Amino acid sequence: MPLFDSSWNRRSFLKGAVLGTLILFGYHPASAVEYTADDGPEGRLSLFNIHSKERVRVTYRDRAGNYDLDALNRLNWVLRCHYTGEVANMDVHTLEFLNTVDKKLGGDHEIHIISGYRSPTYNKLLRNEGHKVARHSLHMEGKAIDIHIPGIGLDTVRKVALATRFGGVGYYPGPGFVHIDSGKFRVWQQ
């Protein structure tokens, strides 16, 4: 059997190479989302971490579906655990969910990050202090982000996130954020 058959084209090869690179750098196949130029605008995010006061504005995926590993690493850095400083590879599905919500709200918003990756140490501390955080939180897997978008009501962000039916959506009007994750579709409010 030949290594490459006639069904392989340049795009297939490049997507395979990107997937292989993502796997090499710790991204899992379940996290690799396949996009094409027909999927619309590139993946672009502008984030502000409210704890570290750091900002990042990157295009992490081009219109052809190619991921920029440097941009993904910059997102990982800004989304790190603010308590321990630990950096994790954020799930690409979670980033795509966030990007989709931003685009459906008109795009190009600076999204304020309340919590991205959460280390097990910090998650345990929060639980011990009486915060209602899940023992096996998806934040600890890099699959969840808590957000606020200045100028857009939390209820609007929640409705748009729910309409995607992409993953979990939690509504926290008291503390002032919406939780999104790349787990199973489910909804809750606190």
Q: Which tens digit of pLDDT belongs to each residue from 99-146? A: 999 999 999 999 999 999 999 999 999 988 988 888 899 999 999 999
Give the H/E segment covering residue 15. Answer: helix 10-24
Among candidates 113, 103, 114, 92, which has minimal Cα distance to 163? 103
Domain residue extents for the chain: 10-189
Output 13 or 164, whichever has higher pLDDT. Answer: 164
**Looking at residues 83-106, what average pLDDT do you find?**
96
Span 10-189 CATH architecture: 2-Layer Sandwich (3.30)
Among candidates 141, 24, 58, 126, which has minimal Cα distance to 93? 141
pLDDT recorded at residue 85: 95
- Predicted confidence (pLDDT) at residue 169 exceeds the cutoff of 80: yes
- Predicted confidence (pLDDT) at residue 19 exceeds the cutoff of 70: no
- Predicted confidence (pLDDT) at residue 13 exceeds the cutoff of 60: no
**Looking at residues 152-178, what average pLDDT do you find?**
96
pLDDT recorded at residue 17: 52
| Whether the model pTM is above 0.75 | yes
Q: Do 21 and 69 touch, CB atoms closer than 8 A? A: yes
- Predicted confidence (pLDDT) at residue 171 exceeds the cutoff of 90: yes
- Predicted confidence (pLDDT) at residue 81 exceeds the cutoff of 70: yes
- Predicted confidence (pLDDT) at residue 185 exceeds the cutoff of 90: yes
CA atoms within 13 A on the CB side of 3: 1
- Predicted confidence (pLDDT) at residue 73 exceeds the cutoff of 90: yes
Among candidates 59, 64, 66, which has minimal Cα distance to 44? 59
- Predicted confidence (pLDDT) at residue 48 exceeds the cutoff of 90: yes
Neighbours of 86 (CB within 10 A): 15
pLDDT recorded at residue 37: 38
**Looking at residues 43-62, what average pLDDT do you find?**
97
> What are the residues whose beta carbons fall under 8 Å from the beta carbon of 111, sequence distance 6 or more?
45, 46, 47, 48, 98, 102, 147, 148, 149
